[in-house]
Amino acid sequence: MTDSMQSPTVADGRAADRIDGGADATNLIDHPRGAAPGKPGDRSAFGFEQKTRLDDAADGKGRGGARYGRTGVIHTPHGDIRTPAFVPVGTQAAMKAVLPETLKDAGAQCMLSNAFHLYERPGQDVLDAAGGLAKFMNWNGPTFTDSGGFQVLSLGAGFKKTLAMDVTGMKSDDVIAEGKERLAFVDEDGVTFKSPLNGSLHRFSAEISMGIQHKIGADIMFAFDELTTLMNTRRYQEESVERTYRWAQRCVAEHQRLTEERVGKPYQALYGVVQGANYEDLRRHAAEQIASLDFDGVGIGGAIEKRIIGDTCAWICDAMPESRPRHVLGIAAVDDIFACVENGGDTFDCVAPARCGRNGAIFTRDGRYNVKRAQHKFDFGPLEEGCECYTCTHYSRAYVDHLLRANEYNGFTLATIHNEHFFIKLLDDIRDSIDGGYFEEFRDETLARFYRNGSRG
């Protein structure tokens, strides 16, 4: 293991104070760092401090056998994020059936919300007047917003959360999920969306996305990008990468303008997003493009074939400055998380833990199971033996099974708490294993135990 250099934004000695919390750590929701009346947000309030990096190896997927996995701290105006870390998703400034305070108790360090959905309701002006996303939902910690780029696929091709897929022999630029209507239309300047709420038309461009996200006020936001499916043709993927780069340039310019204009606000970090589907040359090219721009971090986005998800992260990290944190968008399969962490992923978000929990799918160290099976009706043990989450220390499988079958909201709450805690703790344990020098052993033991019965996820 090796200790690494510090980011210039934290090399002045403030990093130690930030890691320890500092005197203002408990009141950052009201007094975020780097905000001063009449002044633009102070960019030095955001930065990444790398701590421990995995040793390079003969089978390392980066150039020269590099393994980019590491631990560190992302410093934001509303607090610090120790990485690697899982980022729970509260799409509309809320996680269904779970309070922000409960997520904090489950170990969550930060949350991510969806800019497109918040734009639709309650509207970015409401969040701006409330003091920003964190203040609006009473979350005393860092927040993320995606750009609306995900809706290019989910509303356009209708695949929703299905990004890692096997598409052997399938190529079409007109692909759309069965039974779905195309609700997003891409052109050079931006995307026209048909609202899934009421069918009204809305327009997103690089500048519009930046304006919305600045008003939402998250600590970390993403440049507007075009998310393609793995079924798009090679020619379309090439065009899309170049379009996303042009949009990224416009996002940086508009972000800088709004930062100077919106005085008195804390600095919001902007991440560029690397696309390119499953093509190595396109991913490397897109990564070099994004690395050349003045971004604070990078989002590893797009549809990725599962078999090369680690390789894809490494291709991108080959081009990225190590001072920039890396967020892997929409990943929550246990084996994918290990592959992405080993190859440079710092933070991860996904709706799967909450969505699966509401449907009865429970994640445990011994795999994933359905609590609504008949065998659990008289099982008065916890959802997972040895788990210290609120659900497992207070309620039984039989009770959660009953609540979910009866469609009681408390069932959604209890199952979601456990699943979110599972992924939060998984990333915490991975972080400890990197710092402790036993990542490979922990990875192999964890994956063997989780998948020994053929578990999904």
DSSP letters spanning 72-140:
EEEEETTEEEEESEEEEB-TTSSBTTB-HHHHHHTT---EEEEHHHHHHTT-HHHHHHHTSHHHHTT--
Could you tell me which of 281, 284, 288, 335 has the C-alpha nearest to residue 313? 284
pLDDT of residue 152: 62
User: What's the CA gap between 26 and 228, in Å, rounded?
Assistant: 41
The one-letter amino acid at 166: D
Q: State the angle between helix axes of 334-342 and 439-451 in degrees (0 to 180), rounded to the nearest 10.
A: 160
Decide if 24 is catalytic.
no
Tokens for 234? Answer: 């090679």
- For the chain, what is the total number of helices (H) and then of strands (E)? 16, 17
Q: Is 299 helix (H, G, I), strand (E, B) or coil?
A: strand
Its pTM stands at 0.91
- What architecture is the 85-350 domain classified under in CATH? Alpha-Beta Barrel (3.20)
Query: What are the residue boundaries of the structural domains of the chain, listed by start?
Result: 85-350, 355-457
Name the binding residues for substrate: 146-150, 225, 275, 302
- Detail the residues annotated as belonging to a binding site: 146-150, 225, 275, 302, 387, 389, 392, 418
Q: Which phi and psi (to 5°) does residue 24 adopt?
A: -100, 10
- Residue 443 token pair: 């990875």
Give Cβ neighbours of residue 391 (< 8 Å, ≥ 6 apart). 382, 383, 400, 414, 415, 417, 418, 421
CA distances from 100 to 108, 400, 445 (A): 9, 21, 32
- Known binding residues for Zn(2+): 387, 389, 392, 418
Locus of tokens 């944190």: 325
pLDDT along the chain (457 residues), means of 10: 38 38 66 97 98 97 98 98 98 97 98 94 98 97 88 56 42 62 82 85 93 98 89 89 97 98 98 96 98 98 91 98 97 96 98 97 98 98 98 98 98 98 98 98 98 84
Query: Which residue is catalytic, options 80, 219, 296, 349?
Result: 349
pLDDT, residue 150, reads 66
Identify whether 428 is a catalytic site residue: no
pLDDT at 184: 76
Structure tokens, 428: 């915490």
Alpha-carbon torsion (287, 291, 292, 293), positive or negative: positive
The half-sphere exposure of 14 on its side-chain side, counting CA atoms within 13 A, is 17
- Residue tagged active-site, from 128, 146, 296, 336: 146
The whole-number pLDDT of residue 175 equals: 61
CA dist 436 → 15, 40, 179, 287 (Å): 21, 40, 49, 31
Cα–Cα distances (Å) from 159 to 106, 195, 208, 286, 345, in that order, read: 30, 16, 24, 23, 24
Quick: pLDDT tens for 224-237: 998 887 878 899 89
Q: What are the tokens at 242?
A: 């170049």
